[in-house]
Amino acid sequence: MIQAPKKQPKRPFEAVLIGKQIRYLRRIKDISQETLAKQVGVTVGWIGRIERGIHMPNIKLLVKLARALQVKVKDLIPNELV
């Protein structure tokens, strides 16, 4: 019997937007996912999941990400969410 592929859980709109913003800032500052992960104390996979909107970073991690990217926490949150 062939099983239907599992549906992936819907990613929260906010998590996707925040992830895209983090990716954008990381790229314009020319920082690799590996470097960012080391600076904030998480794995490269975790950074990738945040950037794809699979995981929503908590406030503590947002503060670490902002410091590593040399921006304010509010800069990690796109205008669409404010």
Rounded average pLDDT over 64-79: 96
Mean pLDDT value across residues 37-41 = 98
Domain limits for position 67? 13-72
pLDDT on residue 70: 98
Helix orientation angle between 44-51 and 13-28, rounded to the nearest 10 degrees: 120
Rounded mean pLDDT, 1-22:
81
Residue 79 lies in a domain: no
The 10s digit of each residue's pLDDT in 24-36 is 999 999 999 999 9
Q: Which of 6, 8, 20 is nearest to 56 (CA)?
A: 20
| Number of separate domains in the chain | 1
Regarding predicted confidence, which is higher, 38 or 78?
Answer: 38
Residue 8 lies in a domain: no
CATH number for the domain that contains residue 51: 1.10.260.40
